[in-house]
Structure 1
């Protein structure tokens, strides 16, 4: 029996290294190939090599997005997307052969995706010739909707808090708070993970496990220890807001979008 091959296309070297290491730990018998994280180089590789059984594909590559690669290369591989944001759109198209993993990669979530792939493979699932084409067309037609307000409960009344008024969200002792642009705090009955799925990824970024920040609240960013970035926001946060080394490239792309 031939060895199963898995390829990774990821433009962030630390993220690619972490994903490769985690896959090897979960499935040591697999052959792992790490490809350059650019559309042009990935297309070139797929045109001259046998397609891998499974492809872990980042959404945003160094010279474009992965859908440009899919259109040109039409890989026969089953695909698992990796993404640091825009996960709401990817979730809408998680069907049969497609799954997605948020970065930084969680090992349990990765294992779930691998098991899903193995289940499809064991059932002799076959991709149709128009699979990639149909997928891209459906993506282009999808209308994204994101949360615009929250219902806030007071002692004797309810009112709505507009998302456009929020500077950032933070989690403390398993409680989520929304901080408005004028510094008011409100408890939100959702985890940061759930919020991340419902907020517009063009405006909100998950800086770390404790904070989701709005683009309008960022005064500036500066280098910090160990390749991290520290964010200065308005109104000021009571602690440091740092972006990990693995997310720095994605954060810069987000700022420049």
Structure 2
């Protein structure tokens, strides 16, 4: 089994490597940042399994997925559980909280081995296994947007977008930088261009990103009111006919 550890705290990485060695797994490669990991994946064959810390020294490890199509199964490791939902939307086998417990690590590894055995029983190759763990749907969705700012063209990673919204027959995005940018085309057009795992059309006016949702409040007529991290210009209400689907979307 080819195993990779991505962890920004080197003592924690070495401890995890020792724990894996104790259960018969050798991790030969350790990476420590988003930038280093992206470069490594572009230049090397992807491993069978990755132990991936979520908060790295130069950003969240989810940023790696925005630049590289990861062809590996993943066990996420982190001291915080706030990213659990997003982790399981990716190639995740399990999600282990720090400090890592030996029994929990063993359970996570066994889940991966069980997956391997089931696929092997079907006579599939290791490349087939990687394809099953990968998320090919993500390939066709936008990973970045371009907007015009005066005479300049600005590139905005899709992860920086809190929401898409319509106003006065125009379509805009609002970013984590607390800025709005005008887009070409309609909200309906952009709804088809972005990943439905990450974004949801809550009503006729708004599409929101899951990571941008700060709070969800019960509202009148069985609706829901959303509070985003940065956008506060107008109320964002999940329409009554979309509430059930919205609840399924957030898990």
- TM-score range relative to shorter protein: 0.3 to 0.5
TM-score (norm 2): 0.44
Between the two structures, name the one with larger relative contact order (CA 8 Å, sep ≥ 6): 1
